[in-house]
Amino acid sequence: MIEADVIVVGAGPAGSTVALNLAPTRRVIMIERLPDIPPRIGESLVPAARRLFADMGLWRSFEAEPHSPCYGNRSVWGSNEAVDNDFLRDLDGHGWHLDRGRFDAWLRVAAVSRGARLFAPAQLADIERSGETWRVSVTTPTGMVGMTARFLIDAGGRAAPIARRLGARRRRHDRLVCGWIHGAASGSKGLTFIEAVEDGWWYSAPLPNERRVVAFHTDADLASAHIARDRQEMLRRATSAAHLSELLESVAFAPDQVSGFTAAHSSHLAPCMGDGWLAAGDAAINFDPLSSQGLFNAMYTGLAAAEAADRYLSESIDGLSDYERSITGIRTAYAERLAFWYGTETRWKEGAFWRRRVDESARATHAPRR
């Protein structure tokens, strides 16, 4: 039986952020079900992340990583004209277009180097509470391993494997899905690109090493979902989006075989914490990719979760309630901003996708605070 102070399920950005902040002073175990980091869509990280890295003592290390600068956004949204919004006035400087797999691995290595113990691949088998101690069993390639800890953190993504076993439920706000394709590209500028179309919206951004991602977002139950699911249809439709097709032609985009289809809906976990446990990152709350906040909030909630767990272990009665209020505040502010963003696109307001955005965003904005 391995003894720990905190067990973290999930070694993605949220879980690794939790572990690297707790490991210097607490015994931390990370459990990750996947043996390797899978291909990701690729993400843009907002300039404010610089302050998180500095707070965690990671800024110099991150600065040395070969990610590409992101200088702003270009959007075709609400009109047929492309509008640029740059980061020149942002006090934090530019953002970044990430090599997402490398970024996830870098955070994981940082957690292990600070003392966290990683089990990967390892599958959560059983959880039980005995007094103030959690007993956890995991399946590994070499057999079953037993662990104990006073605190559990669910950083297992949308599946929320711990929280669901403890009775929490995920509340979905919409049906958004995303199909994505990687490819080679030359001369890409450091801008994130978004173009609204009748059935959803397109996203494209440069990646490190002369590469680019193209993604289409729509609702899972609409006929347009077949575009996101069908790689060839998606490539064909990309050439009919006026501004996107011009962009892809200008950078000589050449798709390769790296592609995927994934859920992209907004949702939150209720509750996101309980006695001796909490959820962080996508397990607690996840965001519409339009917000560009998903990865930043994974790290932010990971840092907040580490602080809450440390306070709980130090016998503070306020740590968990403060964390819950923080998550509620994030969700409320996000819902209000999302309603505003989608509300600015009125060209297809009678279409199913856009009509839903107004209705669902309004419901999320006025949802009871928990």
Task: Report, as ranges of residue numbers, the positions in the chain whose pLDDT lies below 70.
Answer: 188, 360-370
Q: How far apart are CA 321 and CA 325, in angstroms?
A: 6
Identify the pLDDT of residue 360.
62
Q: What is the mean pLDDT of the chain?
A: 92
Identify the pLDDT of residue 168.
97
- Residue 84 pairs in a beta bridge with 74
Give the DSSP per-residue string, 174-196: --EEEEEEEEE-SS--SEEEEEE
3-class secondary structure, 240: coil
In this structure, what is the dihedral angle of CA atoms 52, 177, 199, 235, given to the nearest 10 degrees? 90
pTM for the full predicted model: 0.91
Mark 177-190 as b/e (b = at least 16 C-beta within 10 Å).
bbbbbbbebeebeb
Q: Which two tokens stand for residue 144?
A: 């079953």
Q: What's at 292, amino acid-wise? A: S
Q: Do 176-263 and 2-43+98-173+266-328 have the same topology in CATH?
A: no
Q: Which residues contact 145 (CB under 8 A, 6 or more apart)?
A: 2, 119, 122, 137, 138, 139
Q: Is the dihedral of CA 55, 60, 61, 64 positive or negative?
A: positive
Q: How far apart are CA 21 and CA 24, in angstroms?
A: 7
Packing angle, helices 294-313 and 319-343, rounded to 10: 170
User: In the chain, where are the structural domains located?
Assistant: 2-43+98-173+266-328, 176-263
Q: How far apart are CA 69 and CA 45, in angstroms?
A: 9
Q: How far apart are CA 305 and CA 199, in angstroms?
A: 37
- Residue 262 pairs in a beta bridge with 178
Angle at 82 between CA 197 and CA 178, to 5 degrees: 35
Q: How far apart are CA 36 and CA 104, in angstroms?
A: 11
What would the pLDDT profile of 213-266 be if each residue is shown by its tens digit? 999 999 999 999 999 999 999 999 998 899 999 999 999 999 998 899 999 999
Identify the pLDDT of residue 257.
85
Q: Considering the domain 176-263 in this protein, what is its CATH number?
A: 3.30.9.100
What would the pLDDT profile of 106-132 be if each residue is shown by its tens digit? 999 999 999 999 999 999 999 999 999
Q: Which two tokens stand for residue 174?
A: 């919409």
30, 15 contact by CB (below 8 A): yes
2-43+98-173+266-328 topology per CATH? FAD/NAD(P)-binding domain (3.50.50)
